[in-house]
A = this chain, B = another copy of it.
């Protein structure tokens, strides 16, 4: 368990934490599986205040037009949940520095939640273990997405690949040499719209195929066997319903597979696309062609190439 450093005698009155981007769903773990990707992140600067409230004083960075009312802001709501859940006798002032674009499918709302609660936690006399912060972060995430899912929060709190249920987060081991290429086209796809594409009925056979794939990926990660992940990392349930919302998706995915990806699919609700590779060089090479494929579909994009077993949020 991660625990923030703290002194029982000296309580700082300001802390800054950063939470990194993440790939939610990972194709085969809709709403329950995600992993961190270093290279982009949200930062939260949190200051103790005497009043039992949350005041957001500034939001800057790649997005600025987010709600300033604490209860309507994902990070603000997470801090309010923390104040009430822990019955804290004080409150927090919050400055958010957004490094992750809105509607990118890279877990931006989750990153704000996690950065805020991790920074606030560092201000407590007895900071909690990361797992204990999860319920507060969930209360924040629901404000942004309308859904109580932790597939981005979990990896940001624990690092690496994480299974996140409504009650619990569990880290899954991943070989250190496996890399992710995450390509973010400059198109906004609202999470709510991406969720609407999933309305309707499903067949049991779709579930059986998808759960077999999920189990193969989990077993492959535990065993460190790329062959199992390669066989399982294919989203037969959600991707077919969402792919039409992402311009150029098929070509971008194919570019990843052409470079030997174990699998490639939509990151979170999209439009970002990720691929998993057995080494850094393949991920780097793929990322160029994945960008080119988005460009051919009319969109510039930016790229993160980083280990699948990415870093947890940290106090700066």
User: Which chain A residues have a beta carbon within 8 Å of chain B's beta carbons?
Assistant: 29-33, 163, 165-168, 170, 172, 198, 201-204, 207-208, 210-212, 214-216, 218-219, 222-223, 228, 231, 237
Contacts and interface: CB of A to CB of B under 8 A. Distances in A.
27 contacts: A29-B215, A30-B207, A31-B212, A32-B211, A32-B212, A33-B215, A165-B212, A165-B215, A167-B231, A168-B216, A168-B231, A170-B216, A170-B219, A170-B228, A172-B219, A198-B204, A202-B203, A202-B204, A202-B207, A204-B237, A207-B211, A207-B237, A210-B211, A211-B211, A214-B215, A218-B218, A218-B222
**Most chain B beta-carbon neighbours within 10 Å: one of A29, A167, A222:** A222
A231 B170 CA distance: 12
A215 B203 CA distance: 20
Contacts of A166: 212
B172 A208 contact: no
**Most chain B beta-carbon neighbours within 10 Å: one of A31, A211, A218, A228:** A211
Which 4 residue pairs of A and B lie closest in terms of their CB atoms, listed nearest first? A201-B201, A165-B212, A222-B222, A202-B202
B201 A203 contact: yes
Contacts of A198: 204
A32 B31 CA distance: 21
Contact of A218 (B30, B204, B215): B215
Contact of A211 (B29, B167, B201): B29
A71 B272 CA distance: 50
Contacts of A215: 29, 32-33, 163, 165, 214, 218
A260 B212 CA distance: 29
Contacts of A212: 31-32, 163, 165-166
A201 B172 CA distance: 32
Given A30-B204, A165-B212, 17 more contacts: A29-B211, A30-B207, A32-B208, A163-B212, A163-B219, A165-B216, A166-B212, A170-B216, A170-B223, A201-B201, A202-B202, A202-B204, A202-B207, A207-B210, A207-B211, A214-B215, A218-B219
A30 B172 contact: no
Contacts of A172: 219
A222 B172 CA distance: 10
A38 B237 CA distance: 36
A211 B214 contact: yes
Contacts of A211: 29-30, 32, 207, 210-211, 214
Contacts of A170: 216, 219, 223, 228
